[in-house]
Structure 1
Amino acid sequence: MKLILIIMGINIVYVSLYTLRMIFVIKGLRGLATFLAMVEIYVYMTGLGIVLKNLENPWNLAAYCFGFGLGVYTGSRIEEYLALGYVTVQVTVDCAETEIPTKLRDDGYGVTCWLADGKDGHRLMMQVLAKRCNERKLYNILDKLCPKAFVISFEPKNFRGGFWINRMTKNF
C-alpha cells in the first residue's frame, strides 16, 4: 500500500510540474520553464523506475495511471490559482450605460471604448485589460454595473504601447 501511495504521489507531482512547465513556456517564462523541466524529468524518471521495477503488481500501474489523472487536475488548479498574465475583456452594453468606463477606470482597469451599431441600435463597446488574477473581480463589477452586458474574454499574447506598459515595466 505504501508503494502505491508513493507511485501516485510521484505522478501527481510530475504531471503538475509538466502542466506548469507548458504554461510557463506559453507565457514566455523560458528560464523558469527550463528549471522546472529539469525537476520534472527527475521526478518522472524516479516514478517510472519504481513502476517498471514493480510491474508484477497491477495495482502499481493503476496507481501510476490514477496519479497521472490527479496530476492533470492538480496542475490545472495550481495554474488557476497563479493566474499568470493578462486578460482582455470585450464588453458590449446599451449606450445608456456610459458611466461604466469611468467606474472601471476608477477601479484601476485600462478601458478603451467606442460606439458601435448593433442589431437593435447603438451600443457602447469597451475593451478592458486586466490581470488574470483580477478577472473574477472584474466580472463581479460588470455584473453589478450592467448585468445584461455581452462579455467576451481572451488572453492577449503581446503588448506594445498604451496605458499598461508603464505599469508592467514597474512590476517586473
Structure 2
Amino acid sequence: MDFHIFGSDEIVAWLIIPLFIFFARILDVSIGTIRIIFVGKGYRLLAALLGFIEVFIWIVAVSQIMKHLNNVYYYLAWASGFATGTYIGMLIEQKLSIGSVILRVITSGDADDLINMLFQNNYHHTAVDGEGMFGKVKIIFMVINRQQLSDVLNIVNQYNPKAFYSIEDVRSVREGALPKVPNPAIKKIQKFKRFLTTRK
C-alpha cells in the first residue's frame, strides 16, 4: 500500500502511517468485540462474516508494522488503537441492544402496583412469594428483549425504588414468549400514563 500520495516521506512515516495503524486497529478490534458478542448470542453467520473483515483489516495493519520495526510510534499507534477499539466495541454493543436478558426483581414492599403496571405494559412475568433474611418478599422473574430493559427498570424504580434486581444474559429463548417491542410513539404514551399514575 503506497502512502506517498499524502505527502513527503517524513510526513508519511511519522504521521500518515501511524494514523492509519491507529484507525485500522480501532476498526478491527471494534469488529472483533462485536464478533465475540455475536458468537455468544448464537449469530454464527454474522460472526463468521465479521471475523473475515476483522482479520483482513488486521493483516493490512500488521503489514505496516513489519515494514517499519524500528519506529516506536507505530507500536504506540497499535496499542492505542487496540484500547480505543475495545472501548468503542463495547459502546456499539450497548447501542445495538442485542438479544434477551433475565431480570429478577426482589422486593420486600408491596409489589401489587408494580405487577399491575408490568401486566398493563404487556411485560410477561412470573411472581412468587419468597422468604428473605428479614421477612417475606416478592420475587418477580422476567425474560425480556434487551431493548426493553431500560423501560422495565424505570417501572421498577418508580413503583419499588428500594427493590433489589439482577440481570443475566440469555443465549436463546423461544421468541413467542416475548412481547414485541412497541414503537416509539406508543412508548411515549405509556411513559406519560405512568407519570399521571404516580401523580395521583
The answer for the alignment partner of 2:184 in structure 1 is: none
Cα deviation, residue 105, structure 1: 2.2
Describe the superposition over 1:105-144 as per-residue Cα deviations: whole angstroms up to 9, x where unpaired: 2223111111112222221110022211221222121111
Aligned residues of 1:97 and 1:146 also touching (Cα < 8 A): yes
1:107-122 equivalence runs, <5 A:
107-122=121-136
5+ residue gaps, structure 2, are: 1-14, 182-200
Which among 171, 174, 180 is matched to residue 157 of structure 1?
171
Q: Decide whether aligned partners of structure 1 residues 161 and 46 sit closer, same or farther in structure 2, where only a CA change above 3 A counts.
A: closer
**What are the residue-to-residue correspondences of 1:1-16 with 2, within 5 Å?**
1-16=15-30
2:86 is matched with which residue?
Answer: 72
2:93 maps to amino acid: E
- 1:1-172 equivalences under 5 Å are 1-94=15-108, 96-160=110-174, 163-164=177-178
Residues 98 and 124, structure 1, Cα contact 8 Å, conserved in 2:
no
1:153 is paired with a residue whose SS is strand
CA distance in 2, matches of 1:167, 1:142: 19
> Partner amino acid for 1:148?
K
When the two structures are superposed, what TM-score results if normalisation uses the length of structure 1?
0.89
Q: Which amino acid aligns with 1:45?
A: I
Task: Give me the identity figure in percent.
Answer: 28
Q: 1:116 to 1:11 in 2, by over 3 A?
A: same
CA gap of 1:110–1:33, structure 2 versus 1, over 3 A, is same
Alpha-carbon distance between aligned partners in 2 of 1:117 and 1:162, rounded to the nearest angstrom: 32
CA distance in 1, matches of 2:126, 2:115: 8
Q: How many residues align?
A: 167
- Report the CA distance between 1:104 and its aligned residue: 1.0
Q: Map Cα deviations across residues 41-100 of structure 1 (whole Å, 9 max, x no partner).
A: 110000000111122211011101110111111111111111111111111113522221
Q: Distance in 2 between matches of 1:160 and 1:56?
A: 55
The amino acid of 1:31's aligned partner reads L
C-alpha distance in 2, partners of 1:145/1:110? Answer: 17
Amino acid paired to 2:29: V
Residue 15 of structure 1 contacts residue 68 of structure 1 at CA under 8 Å; is this kept in 2? yes
8 Å Cα contact 2:109/2:160 also seen in 1: no
Could you list the per-position Cα deviations for residues 17-56 of structure 1 after superposition, in whole angstroms to 9, with x for gaps in the alignment?
1111111111000001111111111100000001111222
Q: Tell me if the contact between 2:108 and 2:136 (Cα under 8 Å) persists in the aligned partners.
A: yes
Give ranges in structure 1 of 5+ residues lacking alignment.
none
Whole-angstrom distance in 2 between the partners of 1:156 and 1:55: 44
Ranges of 4+ aligned residues in structure 1 off by more than 6 Å: none
* Contact 1:90 1:127 (8 Å CA) reproduced: yes
